[in-house]
């Protein structure tokens, strides 16, 4: 009860400083105001749900012997990292987290300071990941490692925790795909396209690949292109009117100029090798500050049929770059949707529910939507991944709490583990 009261007080403090935390996200990582506030709100609302349900979830369970260690990417400091830390603490654990290398340190510092002020045992550290991994991953005192990031770093963490037999939750990227097969509800698809560009597709549940039945390609383009052309990109604080404190944008910058250059280079290379450019947005000077450096901004790009030799063919770009692959058979559809050996989410748009029911189990994604996107999900919805997109315990609701607590002797955690998906 005391721990729950302290976490609840932390949530009240976060809510009190909601606009400040949101503005820090705008300034630090370039999130437009609307998605920045959504990031903060999701963290607060999500953890409140756990405070209301934690007694049932902890029945017969105990905290881990050592602290939970968190290493997460920069893109969602509040709704991913702070959310996880507070739920882990609510379950009775001490919590330690590394600040992301690329941004969010000020927002995280404020959030953790507010938690520490209420007596919640959270510790925030900064530094080189390679050096800190000796403490945050390999130290015998750590009870569980929670990682969100890329496959290269995740593979090194996975090797370390496997050698040590340590509890782990490792969320890594995958190429999430959206298939279109025997489909006709184009107005619905057109309405959802802009929402798929949330935070410039710099998110683990973004959909950068569309796999489209060739005979539907003209109708798909008629729905897709007007939607992607409507996206507004600019400086999150470059207002067009004095009475408008925050412009209503769809995309701000990507994380840094180096990432923007990498995306531009990948697009140029794919086109040079045969991909067909279908859309390339252009900058609107009215949405930027006078004389502003715009080297970190990437306008939405759409390419048709990236060649197999291009990274865009099989890997997640982690930016506003869409690729479209045309297919003629269901077998080709499934092969193209499974290009990255595992993903977190996928969607199949089809008019026939029986087609979705038959094909969805063959798509290598943890969640597969029918005509609608799937999200990471918190609260009572499970989350995980297939193949190289996930290692370790599945989370969400009871499973998130089970992953960071000890249960009855011999208990096995459901998840993506080498040993028949189970782990003590």
Domain co-membership, 153 together with 220 = no
Q: State the pTM of this model.
A: 0.93
Closest listed residue to residue 336, CA positions, set 171, 193, 181: 181
10 in any annotated domain:
yes
What pLDDT digit, counting tens, does each position of 289-309 carry?
Answer: 999 999 999 999 999 999 999
231 in the same domain as 140: no
Which residues constitute the domain of residue 403? 2-173+378-423
pLDDT band at 422 (very low <50, low <70, confident <90, very high): very low
Q: pLDDT > 90: what percent of the chain? A: 80
In angstroms, the CA 52 to CA 46 distance is 10
Q: Are residues 239 and 101 in the same domain?
A: no
**Confidence tier at 364 by pLDDT (50, 70, 90):** very high
How far apart are the C-alpha atoms of 225 and 221, rounded to whole Å?
6
Q: By the 8 A CB rule, do 387 and 173 touch? A: no
- Between CA 250 and CA 34 the distance in angstroms is 9
Cβ atoms 7, 51 nearer than 8 A: yes
CATH code of residue 242: 3.40.309.10
pLDDT, the chain, mean: 93
Structure tokens at 415: 């998840």
Domain match, 153 and 186 both: no
Q: Say if 242 falls within a structural domain.
A: yes
pLDDT at 282: 94
**In 322-404, alpha helices (H):** 330-337, 353-359, 398-403
Looking at the structure, do residues 241 and 253 belong to the same domain, yes or no?
yes
Query: Among the three residues 321, 339, 357, which one is the final residue of a domain in this structure?
Result: 339
| The pair of three-digit structure tokens given for residue 223, joined into one six-digit string | 């729905």
How do residues 105-146 score in pLDDT, each as one tens digit? 999 999 999 999 999 999 999 988 878 888 999 999 999 999
Query: Which of 330, 340, 392, 361 has the alpha carbon at shortest distance from 155?
Result: 392
For residue range 251-270, what is the model confidence (pLDDT) as tens digits?
Answer: 999 999 999 999 999 999 99
The reply to whether 34 and 163 lie within a common domain is: yes
Looking at the structure, tell me whether residues 234 and 162 fall in a common domain.
Answer: no
Q: Let me know if residue 322 belongs to a domain.
A: yes
pLDDT at 70: 96
Residue 424 scores a pLDDT above 50: no
The enclosing domain of 16 has a CATH number of: 3.40.605.10
* pLDDT attached to residue 240: 66
Is residue 364 in a domain? no
Q: For the segment 230-249, what is each residue's pLDDT rounded down to a tens digit?
A: 999 999 988 666 677 788 88
Domain count, the chain: 2
367 occurs within a structural domain: no
Q: Does residue 190 sit within a domain?
A: yes
The tokens for 196 are: 């798929």
Radius of gyration of the chain (CA): 22
Examine the domain organization and report whether 160 and 22 are in the same domain. yes
């Amino acid at each position: 009860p005391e721990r729950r009261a302290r976490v609840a007080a932390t949530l009240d403090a976060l809510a009190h400083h909601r606009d400040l935390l949101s503005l820090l996200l705008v300034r630090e990582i370039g999130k437009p105001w609307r998605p920045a506030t959504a990031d903060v709100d999701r963290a607060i609302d999500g953890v409140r749900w756990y405070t209301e349900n934690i007694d049932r979830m902890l029945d017969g369970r105990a905290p881990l012997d050592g602290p939970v260690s968190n290493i997460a990417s920069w893109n969602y400091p509040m709704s991913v990292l702070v959310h996880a830390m507070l739920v882990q603490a609510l379950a009775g654990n001490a919590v330690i987290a590394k600040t992301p290398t690329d941004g969010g340190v000020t927002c995280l510092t404020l959030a953790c300071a507010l938690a520490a002020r209420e007596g919640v045992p959270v510790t925030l550290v900064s530094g080189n990941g390679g050096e800190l991994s000796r403490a945050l991953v390999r130290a015998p005192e750590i009870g569980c490692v929670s990682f969100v990031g890329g496959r290269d770093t995740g593979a090194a963490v996975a090797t370390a925790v496997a050698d040590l037999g340590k509890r782990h939750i490792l969320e890594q990227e995958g190429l999430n795909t959206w298939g279109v097969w025997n489909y006709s509800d184009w107005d619905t698809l057109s309405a959802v396209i802009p929402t798929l560009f949330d935070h410039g597709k710099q998110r683990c549940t973004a959909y950068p690949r569309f796999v489209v039945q060739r005979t539907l390609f003209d109708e798909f383009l008629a729905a897709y292109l007007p939607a992607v052309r409507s996206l507004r990109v600019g400086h999150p604080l470059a207002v067009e009117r004095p009475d408008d404190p925050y412009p209503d944008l769809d995309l701000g910058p990507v994380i840094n100029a180096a990432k923007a250059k990498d995306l531009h280079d990948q697009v140029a290379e794919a086109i040079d090798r045969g991909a067909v450019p279908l859309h390339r947005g252009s900058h609107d000077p009215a949405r930027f500050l006078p004389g502003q450096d715009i080297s970190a901004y990437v306008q939405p790009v759409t390419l048709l049929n990236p060649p197999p030799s291009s990274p865009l063919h099989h890997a997640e770009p982690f930016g506003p770059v869409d690729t479209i692959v045309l297919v003629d058979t269901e077998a080709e559809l499934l092969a193209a949707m499974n290009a990255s050996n595992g993903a977190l989410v996928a969607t199949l748009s089809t008019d026939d529910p029986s087609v979705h029911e038959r094909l969805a189990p063959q798509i290598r994604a943890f969640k597969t939507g029918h005509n609608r996107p799937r999200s990471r999900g918190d609260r009572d919805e499970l989350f995980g991944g297939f193949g190289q997109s996930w290692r370790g315990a599945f989370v969400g609701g009871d499973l998130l709490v089970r992953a960071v607590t000890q249960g009855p002797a011999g208990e096995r955690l459901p998840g993506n583990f080498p040993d028949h998906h189970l782990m003590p």
